Amino acid sequence: MDRLAYWRKQARLIIRRSEALQSLSSEELATFAREMKWKARSGVSLSQILPEAFALTIEASHRALGKRHYEVQIMGAQAIFEGHIAEMQTGEGKTLTAVLPVALRAFVGKGVHVVTANDYLAARDAEEMGQVYQQLGLTTGCVTQDMSDSERLEMYARDITYGTASEMGFDFLRDRIKKGADSGLLSSRKIFTEETESSMPVQRGHYFAMIDEADSILIDEARTPLIIGVQEKNKDAVISLYRWCRTAIRNLEINRDFLFDQRKRTVFLTESGCRHVTLMSKPVLLDTIDTEQIYQHIEKALTAELAFEKDRDYVIDDGEIVIVDEGTGRKMEGRKWQEGLHQAVEAKERLDLTESTGAAARITIQALFRHYEHLAGMTGTALQARSEFKRVYNLKVSVIPTNRPCIRTGSPTRVFVDQSSKFDAVIAEVKTHIMGGRAVLIGTPSVEASHALSIKMKEENLPHTVLNALYHDQEAEIVKQAGQRGRITIATNMAGRGTDILLSEEVRKAGGLHVIATEMHSSKRIDRQLIGRSARQGDPGSYQFFLSLDDELLRVMRPSQLQSLKRRANPNSNGELSSSWVRRFESLQGNLEKRHVHLRKQLLKFDKDQKKKFRQMGLDPYLEVAES
């Protein structure tokens, strides 16, 4: 019997057991929960008590939330318990599914971490699902960015703790810093920040982590290490250097004075460029700075100018640069680019320069989650990354069937010569669906693109709502309303992930939510996540891609290649190209995916080598940056 068939058979047995518990009083249910906890903590195999524990949790869910688990949700829960990534489609109720394995693991009493995509989802799920855990005699906590050490200590002491990967990762690092300071390892440098209140670690261990949106956290975020920085006051000469570089780069010419690789986001001065920079007139303050450092800052200023765009890579929020996550379109509060790049971007935007940061401790997502004794997760898009999940985390991917058949339909992809022609076609398509009584969700790859399309919409007098990194706080409410008749929602590709779009009856009868993807992302999984917002739980729905030769995906090409491509284009009177052009986009996307896999492989190898080297030296591998 294959695993899915076994899980389905078990799910039916568990449902029958849960129905038998409906007659129990609240006191009897609480007694049953205490028995489960006693068995789990006395060494009885969790696999042995799984059917009873799942049945108990299903009944607790019904009493607390009025919800009972579907058969497929119980199948997904078994996959998670067995240490798999459960691929479950959007709208299949992953949050409720996770309650079953999380409660079972929590009965052991070693602490369970539930990792979510952002603070809002962590707080929401902790509050809602906490009602179920309370019925089982389990305590629930949630760690968020603004908490003190004492508050974090309390949250981690509870049976189940919700939080983001970055919060849990930074807490891991802060605990390592405390341990290093206690041992005298870090006595030579003051690296504690003001918020560090005591030397007591806040986390009590790493027993089990259940990761929501596992592909986003374990794969897409794996390229960006978590780094705790030591603030170093900027000297007047350094501030003057950043300001001077901002204007000096205007006198430099690409391919003569410097080389720019757009794919790698790197800039290198040529010999000609170095001579040019050396001969430029400079403020007196710069006399104290060596020439090599000036070259490095010029390269950083060029990188900030050419490779990082406002409203795509970052936004300006209350006078500060806030990084925008490439995959989700969400603001990454508290994150900074390293090695002076963040200050170079601030100088570019004529903002006050924040203090530069050196690294005190560093860990990658890959290294962080390999610390857990048990690891599992769930997402709507995991199958395409199954080999990487297996290789890096030793996690299998199991595709769980939908509760009801998926009736989503797709229309052929359309390609246009430029963004203007594409947006005209998008607006015409939107008008057609709105007149038909449907709701439309339009996915864009960046804040910049969402603004550009919004301007076009306003010119056409089309009422709409924009959801991007600038409106993070209203995210859940905007998404909830996106399924109403005539509603047009423009969103960065993954904004609103984790919140269901509920359709009105009118929209359901008219054909459901129509999703328009205005570009292909660098990963096919993220495209799948966007179109998966429609046709949930057997609802009708449809999607279509609209592409152009101005799309961000094509920016990985050399400028000369892109110009040559545009010259060969032969659009019709509406600026549309033949369907054969779709293959070029698919090929570029595939190449980018391979490149990102390669980068993550390199990062993993570097991590393993560093860990081995520093362990041999008797040093903490996560604090090595502070001592280098």
- Which residues make up each annotated binding site? 73, 91-95, 500
Q: 326 φ, ψ to 5°?
A: -60, -40
Binding residues for ATP: 73, 91-95, 500
CA-to-CA distance for 377 and 395, rounded, in angstroms? Answer: 9
Q: How many other CB atoms sit within 10 Å of the CB of residue 75?
A: 27
Sign of the Cα pseudo-torsion (175, 180, 184, 189, in order): negative
Q: Which two tokens stand for residue 72?
A: 């497929």
CA-to-CA distance for 499 and 163, rounded, in angstroms? Answer: 16
Q: 331 φ, ψ to 5°?
A: -70, 140
Torsion angle of the four alpha carbons 64, 65, 66, 70, in this order, in degrees rounded to the nearest 10: -110
CA-to-CA distance for 388 and 395, rounded, in angstroms? Answer: 9
Sign of the Cα pseudo-torsion (459, 462, 463, 469, in order): negative
Query: How many Cα atoms within 13 Å fall on the side-chain side of residue 171?
Result: 29
Give the burial class of 350: count Cβ atoms within 10 A of its Cβ; 0-12 exposed, 13-18 middle, 19 or more buried. Answer: exposed
Helical ranges in 397-553 per DSSP H: 419-435, 447-459, 475-481, 505-510, 524-531
- Sole residue written with tokens 């799948």: 528
Structural contact between residues 488 and 457, judged by C-beta atoms closer than 8 angstroms: yes
CB-based contacts of 260, cutoff 8 Å, min separation 6: 254, 266, 267, 302, 306, 307
CA-to-CA distance for 66 and 490, rounded, in angstroms? Answer: 33
CA-to-CA distance for 400 and 86, rounded, in angstroms? Answer: 7
Structural contact between residues 210 and 80, judged by C-beta atoms closer than 8 angstroms: yes
Note the Cα 385 to chain centre separation in Å.
15
Note the Cα 150 to chain centre separation in Å.
28
Residue whose C-alpha is closest to residue 311's, from 331, 327, 292, 297: 331
Phi-psi region of 111 (alpha: psi -120 to 50; beta: other; left: phi over 0): left
CA distances from 434 to 453, 511, 513, 536, 579 (A): 17, 11, 10, 20, 26
CA-to-CA distance for 12 and 70, rounded, in angstroms? Answer: 10
CA-to-CA distance for 430 and 449, rounded, in angstroms? Answer: 17
Residue whose C-alpha is closest to residue 111's, from 40, 206, 214: 206
Phi-psi region of 356 (alpha: psi -120 to 50; beta: other; left: phi over 0): beta
CA-to-CA distance for 35 and 333, rounded, in angstroms? Answer: 43
- Sole residue written with tokens 């691929």: 87
Q: 598 φ, ψ to 5°?
A: -60, -40
Structural contact between residues 544 and 430, judged by C-beta atoms closer than 8 angstroms: no
CA-to-CA distance for 429 and 427, rounded, in angstroms? Answer: 5
Note the Cα 250 to chain centre separation in Å.
35
Torsion angle of the four alpha carbons 391, 392, 398, 404, in this order, in degrees rounded to the nearest 10: -130
